[in-house]
Amino acid sequence: MLDARGPPVQFELQAGEETKLQELTRHWMNERHAPDILPAQSVLLGRLLDHIRKQNDTVQLLRADPDSSEEEHFRIMLAQTEIERVKFIVRSYVRTRLYKIEKYARYIVATPEVQERLSETELQHARRYAHLVESHFHRTVLQSLPEEQRGLADETAFMPPMIPEPDKTRAVFAMARTNCPPVRLPDGSTSEMEKGQISLTPYYVVEQLLARGEVELV
């Protein structure tokens, strides 16, 4: 560690239980910053979508009522604003995953442990997308090449790989949500993050901590 540890954080992040929305926001930011695809939060997403639907129904019901007061109008307006905000987060979360799935489609299809992190629909999409890209490459270029050069899986030294993989050495800013167990750093030393500490470190160092929810990416 290079810097002396700073004084304890005086401004605690808002204490108390994490709401479902805060939880999704955290996963959204993790997904945005992590180079790899993180486990799908299907249950959480489903519950929030249900909540949006219910809230929407309530709003529709209130709006249909012709003699609602001015107070009611404000409640409706605020509820609608919130629905839009939550929808934005949900959409951006799903799009971030979709982007990674399309980018690494062929890597996903070839790697079973990554497939476990995807939801059923995401996995189907990855398979179809990978197939589409491969057959496109084949039809447009590869079929006209000599037979031994037609494969997409060749490993030439010093060339970027033909199947893009997430770069787990990319650095991320991680913030500890609790006191974390020690992790090994690339230079051989170990480091223990205290609650609230922020570190810039390669992704693979904090990968396990992130999976257990002990750090979040900021």
Partner 1 sequence: MALPISLRSSVTPPELELIASEQLIEIIPLISMDKTAFISGAYGPLRPPAKCRLPIWMATNLKLKKKCHIVPPEWLNIDFLQDRLTRETSQPEFCAMPFRFAEVAKIILDVASDDVENPDKIRSLLKDLREARQAKSREGITKLDHSELTLPNLCSMEINEIRPFFIRSMGVLTQLVREPSAAGDI
Binding stretches for partner 1 (CB under 8 A):
1-7, 9-11, 13-14, 19-22, 25, 29, 32-33, 48, 51-52, 55, 70-71, 74-75, 77-79, 81-83, 85-86, 88-89, 92, 95-96, 98-99, 102, 157-161, 169-173, 185-187, 189, 191, 197-202, 205, 218
The residue among 7 and 146 lying less far from partner 1, judged by its C-beta, is 7
Shortest Å, Cβ 24 to partner 1: 10
Shortest Å, Cβ 211 to partner 1: 19
Shortest Å, Cβ 126 to partner 1: 12
CA 191/CA 205 separation, integer angstroms? 10
Mapping DSSP to helix (H, G, I), strand (E, B) and coil, where does residue 82 land? helix
Shortest Å, Cβ 213 to partner 1: 18
DSSP code, position 193: P
CA 118/CA 129 separation, integer angstroms? 14
Q: Could you tell me if 191 and 182 are in contact, meaning their C-beta atoms sit under 8 angstroms apart? A: yes
Query: Closest Cα partner for 44 from 61, 23, 63?
Result: 23
Read off the tokens for 209. Answer: 């901590």
Q: Could you tell me if 193 and 179 are in contact, meaning their C-beta atoms sit under 8 angstroms apart? A: yes
The residue among 145 and 164 lying less far from partner 1, judged by its C-beta, is 164
Read off the tokens for 38. Answer: 């993180």
The residue among 48 and 130 lying less far from partner 1, judged by its C-beta, is 48
Shortest Å, Cβ 144 to partner 1: 28
